[in-house]
Amino acid sequence: MTAETFRTIWLDADDPSVVKIIDQRLLPHEFKLHDLGSWQDAETAIADMYVRGAPLIGATAAWGLYLAALESPESVAMHAVADRLLAARPTAVNLRWAIERIMRVVDAHAGGELADEIRRDAQAICDEDVEISRGIGEHGVALLEAIAARKPGEPVNVLTHCNAGALATINYGTATAPVYIAQQRGIDVHVWVDETRPRNQGSQLTAWELAQSGVPHTLIVDNAGGHLMQHGLVDIVIVGTDRTTRCGDVANKIGTYLKALAAFDNDIPFYVGLPSTTIDWRSCDGVAEIPIEERDAEEVSHVHGMREGAPTMVRTTAPGTPISNYAFDVTPARLVTGLITERGICAASEDGLLGLFPEMRDRS
Amino acid sequence: MTAETFRTIWLDADDPSVVKIIDQRLLPHEFKLHDLGSWQDAETAIADMYVRGAPLIGATAAWGLYLAALESPESVAMHAVADRLLAARPTAVNLRWAIERIMRVVDAHAGGELADEIRRDAQAICDEDVEISRGIGEHGVALLEAIAARKPGEPVNVLTHCNAGALATINYGTATAPVYIAQQRGIDVHVWVDETRPRNQGSQLTAWELAQSGVPHTLIVDNAGGHLMQHGLVDIVIVGTDRTTRCGDVANKIGTYLKALAAFDNDIPFYVGLPSTTIDWRSCDGVAEIPIEERDAEEVSHVHGMREGAPTMVRTTAPGTPISNYAFDVTPARLVTGLITERGICAASEDGLLGLFPEMRDRS
């Protein structure tokens, strides 16, 4: 997955009216490409989670606006599409970031082919994201190298939650980027992969992409991390984020907060890998301010798997069982050891973030 | 489930060579009774989790020894059977407690029908367990009444993990006993039910028995509890335990520790309902001393559910995914607000427990 030639979203080389994605709902059982031929396809892909992961959601929205411009490049229509795409999922701030970036192109447009201009910027968002992920990896790998130096001959045990991997970005991932770079540098690294109920992004995506890349890993249920930490089996936790406030509060997949608490209780470093595009400079108190998406009960009551070689869905609950399904939670900054960004590692605080991104001082 | 007439294990009234259990592996999809006709059947039922829950495991072992005595009442054979039953599962201390109790009957036996003597004691273990559970409920309900008094017109929100319900005991349950008694007293109580991966005892057993009893409840994934607590949606956590040390460390289903951390972080009371038979007076440091069972990887990789009306098993992971599956974790006493026993509520400490059980002062 870390080969430069492989990406999670791209414009079809033969048909520039088609954007290609991986239908991530089918992994690990089936690797299937899916065509986006309209902005509505992009909206569906985001809302129904063909694609997921904050950076990839943002990139998909950018390509959705490109597809909209092919069809109807008028500004009014483009703004209506932008509103629809923005509403596809509420928590990841990259969606807003990417849409606002493309809409600046739309609003500044003065003749020529709008779709061409958007295409260049959507492509730039993807290319930049790969560089950003690589930057996160290169800064974050220092943490793993330091642990490896302390325990020669033993693997560095990383625990991660959900999929903040190559599949969540354009390539490399955020939380996984330090792991992939560590592997390239010959560090003996092993990843505990949280299953990540209800959608099982850990067992279905993270385990799959680590296996593809040959990174040693072990799947665990979400309940297991605390026990492993109590017994010295985790050296560091690295997760991604869908939105991090300027004060360092981290919204990420539901259950992340529980792992942060366990890491804190066991004196294990808890890091968050994030591109600066995931920072919400407008908010500070994440628990109070970040909207938490509630998703369909069926994500909890039904499980997708394989039976006798065929994709099969089963219902695990009794019919009519009342279900609540919050998709994210917020880890307070006090539990976060540090934020790994493309510009370096900083404290999870306004001072920490502004130290790396001083240009945001007046905008936050 | 709380009707006195309904139990989880009983001697067949028509055939005293058969012990009846519910095959809990099939719930909530199918309610099916299963016959134990030999001690080997009892061993299988415990090891393969036809029955589970510390008190019910103990009772099943007691009835297993009864079935063994019917077949071969010699002391040597009985001790061999006791060793086999004791090895069926390592963590729940009730198994040891019940076997030791029955083996005292065996060792003291001096003529007459040994099986009859064991039958009386196995029956007594079950009858006493019902009274113990009711006692836990009557002491614990005071906690719920106090919360109800503070928020009139609103439900008391209890969060529980796994199934420490009627299905885990002979009746009433341990963690659920205060809930059932509260319901009987007209208190408006609502239970957040942790799904409890990997075996889904929450979604498959707790949700089922609460629905049977008409107790309002909502199923959530194990990852969700921290978020709910951050947002004031949980008033109290009550769980069961498979073994609690004399110093108050609590072994319970994997993931319990994470919920205790979240409750502590949000200043929410965290209680453990337990019969005194679950106290391991011989151990103090639970993290260091309690053996934690590792179970088959297939519990994680495969999910049992229903598809088009038929029980169906699906594999959710890619073939060959490495998996680790610890069944329990230990919540340190410092995170436990109190222990709810049949004699009252005490601090999770040696002093607290010896205050309620002074007769153990010389034995611990």
pLDDT beyond 70 at B78: yes
Q: What count of CB pairs under 8 Å joins A to B?
A: 211
Using pLDDT thresholds of 50, 70 and 90, give the confidence band for residue B307.
very high
- The H or E element spanning position B252 is strand B250-253
How far is the alpha carbon of A109 from chain B, nearest alpha carbon, in Å?
A: 43
Total Cβ atoms within 10 A of residue A289: 16
pLDDT at A91: 87
CB < 8 Å to A307, chain B: 312-315
Q: Do A302 and B305 touch (CB under 8 A)?
A: yes
Euclidean distance between CA atoms A346 and A350, whole angstroms: 10
Report CA-CA distances (Å) from A255 to A194, A204, A259. Answer: 10, 17, 7
Residue among A219, A261, A312 minimizing CB distance to B258: A261
pLDDT at A104: 97
pLDDT beyond 50 at B3: no
Q: What letter represents residue A230's amino acid? A: Q
For B140-363, give the CATH class. alpha beta
How far is the alpha carbon of A257 from chain B, nearest alpha carbon, in Å?
A: 7
Q: Do A220 and B317 touch (CB under 8 A)?
A: no
Is there a catalytic annotation at residue A242?
A: yes
Euclidean distance between CA atoms B147 and B153, whole angstroms: 11
Mutate to test the interface with B, among A209, A258, A325 (most CBs of B within 10 A): A258
Residue among B255, B320, B322 minimizing CB distance to A223: B255
Q: Do B257 and A254 touch (CB under 8 A)?
A: no
CB < 8 Å to A316, chain B: 200, 203-204, 303-306
Euclidean distance between CA atoms B64 and B36, whole angstroms: 8
Q: What's the first-to-final CA gap in chain B, in angstroms?
A: 35
Q: Within chain A, which residues score under 50 in pLDDT?
A: 1-5
In B173-331, alpha helices (H)? 177-184, 201, 207-213, 225-230, 256-265, 286-289, 298-301
Residue among A192, A195, A314 minimizing CB distance to B312: A314
Nearest Cα residue in chain B from A308: B314
Task: Name beta bridge partners: A328.
Answer: A253
Which tokens in the block code for residue B315? 């594999």
Sign of the torsion angle spanned by Cα atoms B219, B224, B227, B229 = positive
**SS3 per-residue string spanning A215-269:** CCEEEECHHHHHHHHHCCCCCEEEECCCEEECCCCEEEECCHHHHHHHHHHCCCC
pTM: 0.95
Among B41, B129, B222, B242, the one annotated catalytic: B242
Mutate to test the interface with B, among A227, A259, A302 (most CBs of B within 10 A): A227
Q: Do B227 and A330 touch (CB under 8 A)?
A: yes
CB < 8 Å to A223, chain B: 196-197, 222, 253-255, 258, 329
Cβ-proximal residues to B151 (8 Å cutoff; 6+ apart), any chain: B235
- A218-256 confidence digits (pLDDT tens): 999 999 999 999 999 999 999 999 999 999 999 999 999
Contact B194, B220 (CB under 8 A): yes
Q: Do B305 and A307 touch (CB under 8 A)?
A: no
Q: Where are the domains of chain B?
A: 9-127, 140-363
At A68, is the secondary structure helix, strand, or coil?
helix
Which tokens in the block code for residue A354? 């502004």
pLDDT at A1: 45
CB < 8 Å to B259, chain A: 258
Residue among B203, B222, B302 minimizing CB distance to A223: B222
How far is the alpha carbon of A184 from chain B, nearest alpha carbon, in Å?
A: 22
Euclidean distance between CA atoms A257 and A274, whole angstroms: 16
How far is the alpha carbon of A102 from chain B, nearest alpha carbon, in Å?
A: 33
- B166-180 confidence digits (pLDDT tens): 999 988 999 999 999
How high is the ipTM of this complex?
0.94
Fold entry, domain B9-127: Four Helix Bundle (Hemerythrin (Met), subunit A) (1.20.120)
- A105-116 confidence digits (pLDDT tens): 999 998 889 999
Q: Do A258 and B253 touch (CB under 8 A)?
A: no
How far is the alpha carbon of B299 from chain A, nearest alpha carbon, in Å?
A: 10
Cβ-proximal residues to A81 (8 Å cutoff; 6+ apart), any chain: A39, A64, A65, A68
pLDDT at B1: 45
Q: Do A317 and B292 touch (CB under 8 A)?
A: no
Report CA-CA distances (Å) from B237 to B153, B194, B288. Answer: 20, 11, 25
pLDDT at B364: 54
CB < 8 Å to B200, chain A: 316
Residue among A207, A223, A287 minimizing CB distance to B317: A207
How far is the alpha carbon of A303 from chain B, nearest alpha carbon, in Å?
A: 8
- The closest of B74, B68, B80 to B17, measured between CA atoms, is B68
- What residue has token string 């625990």? A159
Q: Do A261 and B257 touch (CB under 8 A)?
A: no
Q: Do B316 and A323 touch (CB under 8 A)?
A: no
pLDDT at B362: 79
Q: Do B219 and A324 touch (CB under 8 A)?
A: yes
Euclidean distance between CA atoms B53 and B30, whole angstroms: 19
- Please state the φ and ψ torsions of residue B198, each to the nearest 5 degrees: -90, -15
DSSP character string of A33-57: EEEE-SHHHHHHHHHTTSS-SHHHH
**Higher-pLDDT residue of A76, B92:** A76
Euclidean distance between CA atoms A248 and A280, whole angstroms: 10
Residue among B225, B228, B306 minimizing CB distance to A314: B306
Total Cβ atoms within 10 A of residue B189: 25
Residue among B203, B255, B324 minimizing CB distance to A316: B203
How far is the alpha carbon of A118 from chain B, nearest alpha carbon, in Å?
A: 38
- B283-304 confidence digits (pLDDT tens): 999 999 999 999 999 999 999 9
* Range B81-86 average pLDDT: 97
- Please state the φ and ψ torsions of residue B94, each to the nearest 5 degrees: -60, -30
CB < 8 Å to B227, chain A: 254, 257, 292, 326, 328-330
Which of the 8 DSSP states describes residue B91?
A: S
pLDDT beyond 60 at B59: yes
pLDDT at A364: 54
Using pLDDT thresholds of 50, 70 and 90, give the confidence band for residue B4.
very low
- What residue has token string 């500044």? A108
CB < 8 Å to A195, chain B: 197, 300
Q: Do A305 and B323 touch (CB under 8 A)?
A: no
- What residue has token string 């994201």? A129
Which tokens in the block code for residue B151? 């928020």
Among A222, A242, A249, A280, the one annotated catalytic: A242
Euclidean distance between CA atoms B335 and A63, whole angstroms: 49
